[in-house]
Amino acid sequence: MEYFDTLLNELYKIAFILIPVLVSVALIVWLDRRIWGAVQKRKGPNVVGPFGLLQTVADALKYIFKEIIIPASSNKVIFVLAPVVTMTLALVAWAVIPFDNDLVLADINVGILYLFAVSSLGVYGIIMGGWASNSKYPFLGAIRSAAQMVSYEVSIGIIIINVLLCVGSLNLKDIVNAQQNLWFVVPLFPMFVVFFISALAETNRPPFDLPEAEAELVSGYQTEYSGMMYAMFWLGEYANILLMCAMGAILFLGGWLPLVDIFPFNVLPGPLWMILKILFLFFLFALVKAIVPRYRYDQLMRLGWKILLPFSLLYVVLTASYLFYFDKLPTKAF
């Protein structure tokens, strides 16, 4: 009986994280479209429901009732598994995201490594979908995705080292609490910019949406997918975008900490501050999509390997040198 109660308690915690994430994905798609519409001086979704809020629900119902077509020449097992892997990996990463000092599903000491590992595995779903489709356009999109995500994960890893040098811990709560007096976005602002650009590339967002570039690849790795299998790719993509926004809020914007510790900022609850920061970063994501044209693939690789990576390495040296020279290295051991 005790085992059964423990299982129910864990399932309740998982549902407490997953259900808000899935609902947030639906709302964030609506927000995405509204921001594009505002930037491009058009309406965006405004017909289905009040302010168009039910447009995402209508799209979801369309995907649910749409026929799932599996190409005859595809590897059917891997073809079906690909969207499942993509969505699952995007959701399990939320287990370690703290929304307050005591509001986290799994408070592990290596939370940042867990996030980095899970986000790195996300490329497998795209590669599986592109290869299993047995079609040239999805295959080219999968190859592009593999090269792109691996390239920019290197920069993200170097950026995280800058934060860890300032904190001395891999625990996400420790990283947030280390920003009580000063958010890391101030001393590490160049790294925040590089992280934001790398997050765009990591989540295949414009101007780095080369794996699904409709101009030359029809729809890239998603070309052969339809119905709920396509929707699972879509859910995984937006869950990953929100995850990157949450990582940015934790690493650079003080997580659940208020803007300043004075009234009325300090009366807002910590989870609300965390959500507001995630929404702010997503607003920047949406603005970039509406404004910046798509890069060529050679420009994408050049930016990642010849500009962002050397700059990130240089900043690690500067950060470590500053902390060592002024005796500000954290005493807490990793």
Q: Delimit the domains of the chain by residue range.
A: 70-325
CB atoms within 10 A of CB 69: 11
The pTM of this model reads 0.90
Give the C-alpha separation, 71 to 86, whole Å. Answer: 20
How many whole angstroms from its chain centre is CA 101?
Answer: 22
The 3-class secondary structure across the chain, one letter per residue, is: CHHHHHHHHHHHHHHHHHHHHHHHHHHHHHHHHHHHHHHCCCCCCCCCCHHHCCHHHHHHHHHHHCCCCCCCCCCHHHHHHHHHHHHHHHHHHHHHCCCECCECCCCCCCHHHHHHHHHHHHHHHHHHHHHHCCCHHHHHHHHHHHHHHHHHHHHHHHHHHHHHHHHCCCCHHHHHHCCCCCCCCCCCHHHHHHHHHHHHHHCCCCCCCHHHCHHHHCCHHHCCCCHHHHHHHHHHHHHHHHHHHHHHHHHHCCCCCCCCCCCCHHHCCHHHHHHHHHHHHHHHHHHHHHHCCCCCHHHHHHHHHHHHHHHHHHHHHHHHHHHHHCCCCCCCCC
pLDDT > 80? residue 242: yes
Q: Look over the chain and give the mean of its residue pLDDT values, rounded to a whole number.
A: 85
Residue 183 burial class via C-beta count within 10 angstroms: exposed 0-12, middle 13-18, buried 19 and up: buried
Looking at residue 50, what is its pLDDT?
86
Residue 80 burial class via C-beta count within 10 angstroms: exposed 0-12, middle 13-18, buried 19 and up: middle
How do residues 280-303 score in pLDDT, each as one tens digit?
999 999 999 888 888 888 888 899
Q: How confident is the model at residue 20 (pLDDT cuts 50, 70, 90)?
A: confident
pLDDT > 70? residue 58: yes
How do residues 128-167 score in pLDDT, each as one tens digit?
888 888 888 888 888 888 888 888 888 898 999 999 998 9
Sign of CA dihedral 285, 291, 297, 299: negative
What letter represents residue 128's amino acid? M
User: CB–CB of 318/165 below 8 Å?
Assistant: no
- Region 88-101: what's the mean pLDDT? 88
What angle (nearest 5°) sits at the alpha carbon of residue 27, between those of residues 235 and 142? 25
pLDDT > 80? residue 182: yes
| 200 vs 270: which has the higher pLDDT | 200
pLDDT > 80? residue 331: no
Smallest CA-to-CA distance from 33 within 200, 209, 238 is with 238
pLDDT > 60? residue 333: no
Residue 274 burial class via C-beta count within 10 angstroms: exposed 0-12, middle 13-18, buried 19 and up: buried
| 241 vs 122: which has the higher pLDDT | 241
How do residues 191-233 score in pLDDT, each as one tens digit?
999 999 999 988 888 888 877 666 666 677 888 888 888 888 8
What letter represents residue 21's amino acid? V
